[in-house]
Structure formats: C-alpha cells, structure tokens
Chains A and B, each alone.
Chain A
Amino acid sequence: MPAIGKARRQNLGGFSAAAWLVAVVVAAPVLAVVWNLLTPRWEVWQHLAQTMLFELVRNTALLLLGVGLLAGVLGTSLAWLVSAHRFPGRSFFEWALVLPMAVPAYVIAFVFAGLFGYTGPVATYLRAAFGPDAFFPDVRTYPGVVVVMSLVLYPYVYLLARAGFASLGAAPFEAARSLGSRHPFWRVGFPLARPAIATGLALALMETLADFGAVSVLGYRTFTTAIYRVWFGMFDRVAAGQLAVALMLFAVVLLSFERWARGRARFVQRHGRPATEALPPLSSARALVASGFCGGVLFFAFLLPTGVLAYWTARAAVEQKLPPNFGSLLTNTLALGAAAALTTLAAALVLAYGQRLAGSRSLAWASRIAGLGYAVPGSVIAVGVLLILSGADRALGRLVERTTGVELGLVLTGSALGLVFAYLVRFVSVAFYTVEAGLESIAPSLDEAARSLGATPRRLLSRIHAPLLKGSVLTASILVLVDVMKEMPATMLIRPFGTDTLAVDVWQRTAESMWREASLPALTIVLAGLLPVILLVRLGRRGQSVLPS
C-alpha cells in the first residue's frame, strides 16, 4: 500500500478497529481448539505414531493431491472451454456446470455407494452378465473417493476461473490471436486467471480437508475420521483437538500455496467488451468433443445423483415414507442460511476492507487465522464455538444476576444466534477470499485517485467499490448460503431445541441406512441450492458483472 499520509490514516482507525474486533471474535473458537495443545497427550500420540499416523498423513496428502489435480483440471478446463470457445450448448453449460456445487459431498457419496457398490444395480448387472467375479467400478477405493469428491468440488475452481477469464475481456485474447499465438490458454488465459484459479482450488481443498461424511461413507481413513475415532472411541477430547490442530497445519500449508500461486500477480479489472462476443467457433469434431465433455461431467456430477434421489423419493412416496416435518425443515434451513449469509458477508467485507485500507500485515494474518475454521471438521469447530458461547453466557449471567438479581440462564447457547455465529466461524473464509479477490481486481490507482481528490473511506466504498464489487459480494453470499444449507455437524451440536434442518435430517436417516427416507430432504438441499445459482445466472444475463474478478 502506498503511503496515504498521516492525517488520512487516522481516519482509518475506526475501520481497522472493527476489522480487528471481527477477526478476534471469529478466531476465538479456532484458538479454543488450539488451546488443547497446552495439555500434553503423549500417550495417544505415541499410540497413533505406532499404528496409523503415517497412513493418516499419507491418505490426507494423497486425497488433497488427487482432488486438487482432478477438480483443478476439471474446473479450469471447463471454465476455459465455455469462456473462450463457441460450441453447441455453450451458453447452457456455462451456468449448468455450477450446479454440482449444490450437491453435498456426503450425499453424492451415499448415492454413488448405493449405485456402484457391490449390492448396487451396476455391479449386480455386471455380475449377471459376466459372472460372479466381474469387474465393477467400486467407489469405496482411493480413486473412487477422489472422483466422487472432485465431481462436487470442481465448481469452486470453475466458478472462480470462469470469472477470471471473463474479467479479462476480449482484448488480451484478440491480441494473442492477432499475434498468431497457438496456445492462448497457456500464453494468456492461465497466467492472467491464475490468482482466481488458486483461490478456487484453495476453497475446494479446504472443503476436502474438513470432509467427514463422504470419506466415512466410502471408508477412506483421513485426519477427520481419526479425530472422531480418538474423540468418541477413546473419549479423548483433548487429543482430538490436537489432531484438529494438525489438520489446521495442512490448511496453513494450503493457504501459503495459494499465496505463492497467486504470486505477485495482481489481477486488475480491464474495461472492455466481454470476451464472449468475439468467440471463435470450434470445428465440428472439436465442438462435439467439447459438448460431450461438458455433458459428461454434468451427467455424473449432477444429473445422475439428482436422478437417483428423485427415483428414491418417488419410491418413498409410494411407500409413504416421506418425512412429515418436511415443511419446517425447509423453512428452518432457508432462514438460517439467509441469516448466516448476511452476517458472514458483513464480517468478510469488514475484514477485507480493514486489510486493504489499513494495509496492516498483522491484520492480514488475523483474518487468515479467523478463516481456519473452514478447514476443520464442523464438529471440532462447533465444540470451540460451544465453549465460547457458554463462556459468554456465564459471564453475562453473572453480570445480570449481580445487577438485577435475575437468573438469566442460557441466552446464547442453543440459540439461533449462536448457530449463526458457528456458521460465521466456519464459513467466513469463503466470503472473505471471494471478496478479497474481488477487491484485488480493483486497481489501487483508483483508490489513490479518489483519496487524493479528498474522498473519505466511506465515500470510496459507496461510490467506487460498491458498484465494482457487486459481483463478488453476490457470489460470496451464494457460496455461504449453499455451504450453510449443506452443513450438518455444527448444526447438530449448536441448534436450538427441536430445530431440525434438511442436512440434519438427511444425516439422521442415513446413519440408520434409511436411504430412501433421506432422499427427499437430500434432493431438497440440492434443489434449494439451485435457487441461488439461478439468481446468479439471471443477474448475469442482465449484464451486471456478477462474478468475482
């Protein structure tokens, strides 16, 4: 950040203080987890080291590598296809390829396990046709886990990469073409969109790290499954917290990678025509391959799982096994999701702005620590949240009792407010990174110009940044909304008495292998996740820049 002058910097005091406050409040549950390190648990670590620590580290690293590669390649190549080429169905695929994001990883895992497992229809058919030892594509394997998770995580990369490509406008591509470049992707597209791709990949990999549902359904042992095993099998909460800290270290490595991959590349919005106007059509053979590729991914990642869920729902309806409380599940989920999206977005904006305006390195680090909640399994972070909430309740109760003599009881613990706080802690980094990427694309020269003309930070925000940021803000709220609707473990632990959400209901039924009964709420999570995606697309059609750039 260039020097802004002493007088102006003092103006920023309020903003910077607000950013610090948000960072500290959000980081508190993360720190509560880290606190566990103070109580040594050598015995458990020794046991882990003798039995499975190596396997855990290897499996987790392999999973990150596999999902990183597959989701990265899928997301980037699909984004490049729809951004820089013309082929049949392009404008349909452009938005449809985001849809798999609405499918929770544990849902696609249980659908695929049912479909492709030994007892599923595919394997049963293959055995009938080729004998009892026939090959079948078992998803309960390493490649199976990688494919299943990549299918629903590639949209993070796709969404950000496509925004990266789109924000460049047509000019760089035209220039590259007119100079006769045969590889516009490697020469122009990839280098310019690299920061966006890195951010998308980081988000996808943080989700991978935190996943518990999919890996347990598919029987793949990672740090998250080990955390649960130590916590609930050996009744050792502290050692489980320490394992969670190890998981956070993985996340820190990931984030450093993201910083590194972004490099010094500042990726600044150009103004110009959207690139789609001048897209060169593909030859018919290549167009066929392009459409087939997009269609294939869409089929396996979205149409197949939702189709199976729809079929199971229909069968459950015939057998009268649909959940009777479905209406309240839906409204609870949507209300919580909306409240969490608004809160999280506000926090992310304060953090990102504090960082940009104050230019403070320590604040940048505080925001990153606050964001670590995303890489930790929901129930671990939820216990941190629970500790903070009950601590705040005790302090509040003492205060009220001393001043008024009234016994207050639990105000925050087990309240909707507490749950929204948990969502904030868990998902703030999704909003933060998206908004930050959007902010970075606004040239600092704009700020400098405005401020040298005497604009206050508030005016800078409302007149210059707000219109340019609209896209990232919308994307961030959608990502958070969809994430909250899919969230299960933290919701289970913190929700108000008797408040069920769709994800909680799905989990409770699948835990007892009631797949068919779980299919309607699971399908609804997917369909409800479509609404924001459709909103995104419609706004995009109206010509607003709705994607982070």
Chain B
Amino acid sequence: MNSQPLVLGFLAALAAALPVSSQEVNVYSTRSHYGSEPAFELFTKKTGIKVNFFMGNNNEVLERLRAEGKNSPADVMVTVDAGNLWNAAREGLLAPVESETLAKNVPAHLRDPENRWFGLAVRARTIMYSTERVKPAELSTYEGLADPKWKGRLCLRTSNSIYNQSLLAAAIERMGVPKTEEMVRGWVANAPTILDGDTTLLEAIAAGQCDVGITNSYYLARLVSEKPGFPVAPFWANQGKGGTHVNISGGGVTAHAKNRANAIRLLEFLTSAEAQATLAASSFEYPVSPQAKPHAILEKWGAFEQETVGVAATGKNQAEAVKLADRAGYR
C-alpha cells in the first residue's frame, strides 16, 4: 500500500484544525444542521464580526466545553431545550450577562433568573390530532390524554427525548410529582405506540396508526410547508389551566469567552426585532420578542397562552421527570 497520499490527507486534516483570528466570535451550536443560519449571516453583514460554528448535539457540545475548560475557543453556546442550558449553567460553563437590551427583548419566563442564558426562539410542545378522526372539542389538556377514551389511539415519542423530559419536568413544577405521575400512568394505561421521533409520530397520525399525540410545533409546520393538506392540526393544550408547554432554543456567553463583547453583541442582535423574524421563521419557531411576527403557517394556528412556570424549571426537575417516567413504565 502506498502511504504517501494517506500522510498528505492526514496533514490536510490537521491543517483544518488551525485557529483563526481577528474580529470574530466562536459559537458552539446545536441548533442548525447547515452550518450557518440567515440571522447569523445578517449579524456578520451588519457588524463585520465573523461567526465561526462548531456544530454538535447538545451533550457533545457540553462535554467538549467542560473538557476544554479555560482554554476553550468557544464564546457563545447556542442550544435547544432549556434543560441543556440549565445544565451548562449549573456546571459553571456559562457566565452571567447584565444587558438591558437582553432583559427588554426576552420575556422573563424565557430566560435564566441569574442571566446566564436567554431564549432566542420558542417552540410549543402540544397535542396534535388527526383532523379526520378527532374533533377539537374532545381535547383539553395533557392530563386529558390519560382518559380511557384514548386507549389504543395515542402515540408518544419515547421518554428518552429531552423534549418529553422537559414537558414532564414543567408538569412537575405546575402540579407536583404525584399528579404528574398519575397523568403518565394514565398515558401508559392507554397502551400508547412509542415512536422515536416527532416527525415519525405526526406521520403515524396522518396514516392512521393513532389519532392523537404530543409533538413540538415546528415539526408539524415543516410537514405542512411541504404538504399543505397534511391531515394533522395542533390543539393548544391547557388553555386557562397553566398554559401550553413551551421551550426555547437559546444561548449564553461561555465562562471563558475570549471575545465576550462580541458574544454579547451577537446575543443582543439575535433577540432584536430585526433578527427575530428571520431566526424564528427559518426553523418554524415562535419569536421570543413580542414585536416580531411568526411564520405565516404558525400565524394561521393562532395565538395561545404559554406556560408561565418558567423554562428554567425544566432543568431543575428533569432528573426527577426521568425517574418518574421509569416508575410509570413510560419507555
């Protein structure tokens, strides 16, 4: 075997790891799969500050930050689900930011009480139903899905999903462990089909495998944007009874950021009305800023009352939520 090309390839891979300099900000992100999003490009265009991305999944970005410690090149951590941000803050990976702009742009229930992380976009996790087999009047709350009338008609994503862990964690905050456990036991008693993804679940409802389920709002929006007649609609759960569960994708400035000023500027820009519409629309999320309008598909679904227990609670209660699911037999 001729080893020369291999050695060259190896060197090329090494060279790819060289650091870059000047006006820039390094972002560890789990939010997008395409390397950069329009809102970040807009930031570079406005400020001349270059944004470098390291994309990973939640856990990997966290472990990487931890291992790198004070040598980390990261300035900003952007991730989905408040549980992950809460955990990063707990591990001391994020530094508090005192910014009037951020405090003004981001509603209090969508940011860390200690200002270590801020919501950038909102997603609702609510009840999805077949428009062919279910009438909205039959639906009410998450707890209502424990009713025996949904036996064999309910689909759930596995409780391994952090989205479900956060949903249960917020429920614990809202009504306590025993009532939440009673609700989950009720779901399990309805012999739900357990699936591995929100999109899979929505397609299962459309195909008739089940009639109702719980998913994030943007998965449905994505499907509807591809197939306008998709026979599934959202039902805003728990209106007047605590509100529909919401979560965020959000970000914070890392504890050892070398470009801290740029990092704060980036977060302030991303929460501005100008960036919000782009940021939220590109992923079918809701803007955090009340001034910005959501994507047309979301606008058609109408406004709804958001859960106000605060997304920070999801992190705090997450481990308890996982154990609760285990006890109740929710896989």
Name A's B-contacting residues (CB within 8 A).
47, 50-52, 113, 117-119, 124, 132, 216-219, 221, 225, 228-229, 231-236, 325, 331-332, 334-336, 338-339, 342, 379, 382-383, 386-387, 389-390, 393, 397, 409-410, 413-417, 420, 474, 477, 489, 492-493, 496-500, 505, 507-509, 511-514
B160 in contact with A513 (CB, 8 Å): no
By a CB distance below 8 angstroms, the chain B residues around A508 are: 33, 55, 57
Q: How far is the CB of A297 from chain B (nearest CB, A)?
A: 27
A118 in contact with B204 (CB, 8 Å): yes
B9 in contact with A47 (CB, 8 Å): no
Cα distance A237–B60 in the bound complex, in angstroms = 12
Q: How far is the CB of B86 from chain A (nearest CB, A)?
A: 9
Contact of B56 with A by CB under 8 A: yes
Contact of B104 with A by CB under 8 A: no
Cross-chain pair count, CB within 8 angstroms = 160
Partner of A493, one of B64, B209, B322: B64
Cα distance A339–B165 in the bound complex, in angstroms = 40
By a CB distance below 8 angstroms, the chain B residues around A118 are: 204, 207, 209
Look across to chain B and name the residue whose beta carbon is closest to the beta carbon of A391.
Answer: B67
Cα distance A182–B217 in the bound complex, in angstroms = 66
By a CB distance below 8 angstroms, the chain B residues around A507 are: 57
By a CB distance below 8 angstroms, the chain B residues around A231 are: 59
By secondary structure, the A interface counts as helix
Look across to chain A and name the residue whose beta carbon is closest to the beta carbon of B58.
Answer: A232
A119 in contact with B197 (CB, 8 Å): no
Contact of B38 with A by CB under 8 A: no
Interface centre among B71, B72, B195 (most CB of A within 10 A): B71
By a CB distance below 8 angstroms, the chain A residues around B67 are: 383, 386-387, 389-390, 413
A509 in contact with B33 (CB, 8 Å): yes
Cα distance A496–B13 in the bound complex, in angstroms = 9
B59 in contact with A499 (CB, 8 Å): no
Interface pairs A-B: 8 shortest CB-CB: A513-B199, A335-B9, A496-B17, A233-B322, A339-B10, A51-B326, A416-B13, A338-B6
Cα distance A477–B196 in the bound complex, in angstroms = 35
Contact of B87 with A by CB under 8 A: yes
B318 in contact with A235 (CB, 8 Å): yes
A493 in contact with B331 (CB, 8 Å): no
A219 in contact with B196 (CB, 8 Å): yes
Given known A-B contacts A117-B200, A379-B60, A334 and B54 have beta carbons under 8 A apart: no
Encode contact with A along B1-39: 1 for CB under 8 Å, 0 otherwise.
Answer: 101011001101110110100000010000001010000
Look across to chain B and name the residue whose beta carbon is closest to the beta carbon of A512.
Answer: B33
B17 in contact with A513 (CB, 8 Å): no
Given known A-B contacts A335-B9, A514-B33, A51 and B327 have beta carbons under 8 A apart: yes
Cα distance A219–B326 in the bound complex, in angstroms = 15
Which residues of chain B from 102 to 140 have any CB-CB distance to chain A below 8 Å in the complex? none
Contact of B194 with A by CB under 8 A: yes
B68 in contact with A410 (CB, 8 Å): yes
Partner of A497, one of B13, B17, B58: B17
Cα distance A511–B90 in the bound complex, in angstroms = 26
B68 in contact with A413 (CB, 8 Å): yes
Look across to chain A and name the residue whose beta carbon is closest to the beta carbon of B12.
Answer: A335
By a CB distance below 8 angstroms, the chain B residues around A415 are: 14, 17
Q: How far is the CB of A510 from chain B (nearest CB, A)?
A: 9
By a CB distance below 8 angstroms, the chain A residues around B259 are: none
Q: How far is the CB of B57 from chain A (nearest CB, A)?
A: 6
Cα distance A113–B199 in the bound complex, in angstroms = 13
Q: How far is the CB of B67 from chain A (nearest CB, A)?
A: 4
A119 in contact with B10 (CB, 8 Å): no
Contact of B63 with A by CB under 8 A: yes
Given known A-B contacts A119-B203, A132-B208, A511 and B57 have beta carbons under 8 A apart: yes
By a CB distance below 8 angstroms, the chain A residues around B17 are: 414-416, 496-497, 499
B16 in contact with A499 (CB, 8 Å): yes
By a CB distance below 8 angstroms, the chain B residues around A390 are: 67-69
Contact of B158 with A by CB under 8 A: yes
A335 in contact with B13 (CB, 8 Å): yes
